[in-house]
Structure 1
């Protein structure tokens, strides 16, 4: 079936999802820049550390001075950081010829296991989800959607040592794509700030190949800036405290513009005229047009969308060789894309959370 929007799809599939729940339970190869040490295989990566590199030790000394940290501790810890070939491999972008496919992307996340697990997560943490909505205005289904898409509710938080991942990308960022080593050096610095504040051994933290951590996959800088001790136990724990995860995600989205009570998107029929469609697509996913301007350009909105007082963006989602899908995104849709800069990601978060919410409300009645 051709997808016109997430909400339309959910209305069509919710009975089937309910039946399933009630009755049951890419990264291409790339030539990495050669590090200044010998690496024979991933299995031997733990034998190759950064301890003898002058540039790494200079970075450690400068970091310690900037942040007022113990220089011996920073140097000794960074000396144990390991170059990991798979980190350099996985950070590479997909082949240019790879076609985007929203239908296939959606199917990876809006599926029975994630919905069933998300339903259990919602029930177990309902009081924290309610408190997060009261405090930050972010509804439970959005937070539940984020945790589900990011880590399947904590099942897949990453097995890379964050210290190794960030050191690899800081000091041996692979060639073949835009160099982001400065960004990762900043994140590596933030990792030491985090470890000092939370009294954590940075060598023990695990995460993704890019250094994101916990159920919500926060980079160290986001952890330091937006994470919150929502359960009041004196520590911010994004790995083991669902309360802290929920509060931190809600705070992050609110800081990036989430507005209480605003729908994140509307169904939309795109303009038939190619010039009008191109004009609405030109600003990409940033809300730019009023509902009236949408109508003047020939975009069809539902009644609620036509009455919406804010700005909208025409969001185009490619479906491989099939026609694209479209939604009209609001400021709240844009806020979700600040968590992960992808309209496909934002749609998956919203559709997953709404699917779980519809099932929950159906069962609770």
Structure 2
């Protein structure tokens, strides 16, 4: 979900795509011309230089979605993070098969995106596969309803309520600007307002979406080609370095290991290879030649021992799409699995 740091990534994906029937039962009244709605409309109209009457009309028509405020709250009983369980939800045969078909259908567009932006096709395929199962689960919430609800009724009990409320109000403004330009405020997406094949938040759509199919308009919901180019452009904008791996395997020399220091920067690459290994990390031959900084990425496995990788600057770029190392590694491994499956299918067909 580009540029939206979900409070719990697994929770966001599990709840982002409810059925239309369920959502219909959770719709409340329209906001109408209440004092709060009019004040919000006037503020956003001024910020984005939009017609005040038009914005007031849109906000007045927005419906309160009763279940949405609860969906952005952290779980009341935190569950143990489990990379292996999380991975199984995305690195699965049906998603790999769908990704292989997606790549086959759009191989020329993926190749063009890789040439234009320097981002490997498997990374783009991984993002779209994790986000929306290749367009199958783009969300059916009206984005106007979702973002207005999260602006006017954001739960005060959230531990970062002020910050999150400001974020969703800003996203509502970006959405209204796009809706006015496109002449369509009925666009649907996730409960948090993410849209289309790549699940861009409105601000990301404004900054990074591109007309990659050349039809004169950007359409992330109906044009997978625009989505392909937009994901690649997003990665490039956040500093993707062509040819750099995302991560390396890592083990430890327990006699020299200073794990607290290695983990202190979290997923931000902060150590040179020499400093990394001096603190007890053991790298393979390829990783020892890495030209850049590394981070020790720790992924918990419930009651089992954690998994670790040495993350590069490119791993960090993937986390800018969704701020989670679990999400990033799922994207990377799904893309790799689809690439391998595609190669296998090609080799089998060529030997017949």
TM-score by length of 1: 0.86
Q: Which residue of 1 aligns with 2:337?
A: 355
CA-atom RMSD, angstroms?
1.6
- The Cα shift of 1:303 comes to 0.4
Q: Which residue of 2 aligns with 1:175?
A: 156
1:336 aligns with 2:321: no
Higher mean displacement: 326-335 or 82-91:
82-91
Q: Which residue of 1 aligns with 2:198?
A: 216
SS in structure 2 of the partner of residue 48 of structure 1: strand
Provide the rounded CA distance (Å) in 1 between the counterparts of 2:284 and 2:247: 11
How many residues align structurally? 325
Q: Which residue of 1 aligns with 2:215?
A: 233
- The Cα shift of 1:115 comes to 0.1
- 1:151-170 equivalences under 5 Å are 151-170=132-151
- Of the candidates 196, 200, 203, which is equivalent to residue 183 of structure 2? 200
- 1:163-312 equivalences under 5 Å are 163-177=144-158, 178-179=160-161, 180-197=164-181, 199-202=182-185, 204-272=186-254, 276-312=258-294
Provide the rounded CA distance (Å) in 1 between the counterparts of 2:264 and 2:236: 26
- The Cα shift of 1:273 comes to 5.3
SS in structure 2 of the partner of residue 135 of structure 1: helix
**Partners of 2:28 and 2:65 within 8 A in 1:** no
Q: Which residue of 1 aligns with 2:97?
A: 116
1:102 aligns with 2:86: no
- The Cα shift of 1:52 comes to 2.9
Unaligned runs of 5+ in 2: 1-10, 13-21, 348-352
After superposition, what is the alpha-carbon deviation per residue over 1:56-111, rounded to whole angstroms, capped at 9, x for unaligned? 11121222233222211111111011111111121111245310000000000000
Provide the rounded CA distance (Å) in 2 between the counterparts of 1:44 and 1:147: 29
- Of the candidates 66, 71, 79, which is equivalent to residue 47 of structure 2? 66
Provide the rounded CA distance (Å) in 2 between the counterparts of 1:212 and 1:258: 22
After superposition, what is the alpha-carbon deviation per residue over 1:215-261, rounded to whole angstroms, capped at 9, x for unaligned? 11000000011000001101101011111000000000111111111
After superposition, what is the alpha-carbon deviation per residue over 1:253-300, rounded to whole angstroms, capped at 9, x for unaligned? 111111111000001113525961111111000001111112111111
Unaligned runs of 5+ in 1: 1-25, 28-40
**Partners of 1:270 and 1:326 within 8 A in 2:** no
Provide the rounded CA distance (Å) in 1 between the counterparts of 2:51 and 2:138: 29
- 1:45-84 equivalences under 5 Å are 46=27, 48-84=29-65
Provide the rounded CA distance (Å) in 2 between the counterparts of 1:274 and 1:292: 13
Q: Which residue of 1 aligns with 2:16?
A: none
- The Cα shift of 1:175 comes to 2.7
- The Cα shift of 1:364 comes to 1.7
TM-score by length of 2: 0.89
**Partners of 1:141 and 1:357 within 8 A in 2:** yes
**Partners of 1:270 and 1:277 within 8 A in 2:** no
- The Cα shift of 1:362 comes to 2.0
- The Cα shift of 1:176 comes to 2.2
- The Cα shift of 1:47 comes to 5.0
- Change in Cα spacing, 1:300 to 1:81, as seen in structure 2 (3 Å) is same
After superposition, what is the alpha-carbon deviation per residue over 1:182-225, rounded to whole angstroms, capped at 9, x for unaligned? 1111000000111123x2321x1111110000011000000011
Higher mean displacement: 47-56 or 135-144:
47-56
Provide the rounded CA distance (Å) in 2 between the counterparts of 1:243 and 1:319: 36
**Partners of 1:46 and 1:82 within 8 A in 2:** yes
SS in structure 2 of the partner of residue 213 of structure 1: coil
- Change in Cα spacing, 1:346 to 1:47, as seen in structure 2 (3 Å) is closer
- Change in Cα spacing, 1:112 to 1:291, as seen in structure 2 (3 Å) is same
Provide the rounded CA distance (Å) in 2 between the counterparts of 1:211 and 1:271: 46
